[in-house]
Amino acid sequence: MKRSLTIIAAIAVLIAMFAGCAKTADTAESANPSENVSAEPTDLGSVNMGTLKGPTTMGLIKLLDDASADTLSYKVNNTIYGTADEISALLISGDLDIAAIPCNLASILYNKTEGEIQAAAINTLGVLNVIEVGNTISTVADLKGKTIYSTGKGTTPEYVLNAILTASGIDPQTDVTVEYKSEATEIAAYLTGETAAEGAVAVLPQPYATTVLMNNENARIALDLTEEWSNADLEGKMVTGVLVVRREFAEANPELIEALLADYAKSTEWVNANTEEAAELIAAAGIVPKAPIAVKALPYCNIVFETGNEMKTDINAYLGVLFAQNPAALGGALPDENFFYTAE
């Protein structure tokens, strides 16, 4: 009987020991929630963002989709605008914290606000194409004597076209006639309508260029201005779009900015690797009318993500070309080193 009681007591002690170990393990797990698989993401706050109806938003589309599903560590309030002018005013007023805008406009705003707007990343390289209804243009030299329809008077399309024409020996003021329209949709409609003239020529960004090709079988991409920039031996890359941030917001929210840039890089990689899935999200966001347009346009959009020294090198080279052509294109001066946002 004594032996039985001793065995029972020993078993009771072992049970108590195992229970204590289990309790200790449970306590350790709950004390380190960051190591738990089911831990909720940290809420880093919220950001008001503005993007343009085009490739810059196309590269962001996975990030925006994740934000709408509330799976990021911060909140995103994004609005897609039709023109960069709308975004500029909201950045200056502080109603927007971050925006995707043309590279030269970022320089203008930096100079205008005395350094309050900084470039955080390059998100798009060249997206401009020369579209022709016909088959007479194969080199930049073939543009001489032509009437060219374009958007972007005083912005990237004008400066890029002028730089390429000048480097190719064509005077933009006398050797061609450029008729500027306020909206790319207006030019696209002209090139696809019943009155679309044989020989009509236009400079259009993606995805509008692809829209024309899909609606007019006689239209084609005659020149890729990204390639022509390189062919003309212009310095650096053609940098179309950048992500900018208000300095005050960045200084107050460094962890949010770091997380957003990391998510943006992932979004860009995902969009370039998953064209068809990305196209569905792009169409759903109203950036293009239908997903097939986005599928065909994405390979021509040159969606990238560059930060740090690579960003600095490419932006400085590009802005140098524009400044030599027209200092007003940058707001009167090349931006200094403080133009670039870099995480501390």
Map out the domains of the chain as residue ranges. 46-125+238-339, 128-231
Q: What is the mean pLDDT of residues 166-180?
A: 92
- Is residue 6 over pLDDT 50? no
Instruction: Point out which residues pair with 98 in neighbouring strands.
Output: 49, 245
CATH label, 128-231, candidates 3.40.190.10, 3.10.20.90, 1.25.40.340, 3.40.50.300: 3.40.190.10
CA-based Rg of the chain, rounded to a whole angstrom?
27
**Confidence (pTM):** 0.81
Tokens of 90: 């909201």
Residue 154 pLDDT: 77
The pLDDT tens digits for 281-324 are: 999 999 988 999 999 999 999 999 999 999 999 999 999 999 98
SS3 sequence of 8-32: HHHHHHHHHHHHHHHHHHHHHHHHC
Topology adopted by domain 46-125+238-339:
D-Maltodextrin-Binding Protein; domain 2 (3.40.190)
Q: Is the peptide bond before 207 cis (omega within 30 degrees of 0)?
A: yes
- Describe the chain by its helix, strand, coil percentages, rounded to 5: 50, 20, 30
What percent of the chain has pLDDT above 70? 86
Residue 163, Cα to own-chain centre: how many angstroms? 23
What burial letters (b/e) apply to 64-75, b meaning 16+ CB within 10 Å? Answer: bbbbeeeebbbe
Encoding tokens for residue 260? Answer: 């957003």
pLDDT for 94 beyond 70: yes
Decide if 46-125+238-339 and 128-231 have a common fold. Answer: yes
pLDDT at 344: 57
Alpha-carbon gap, residue 343 to 67, rounded angstroms:
22
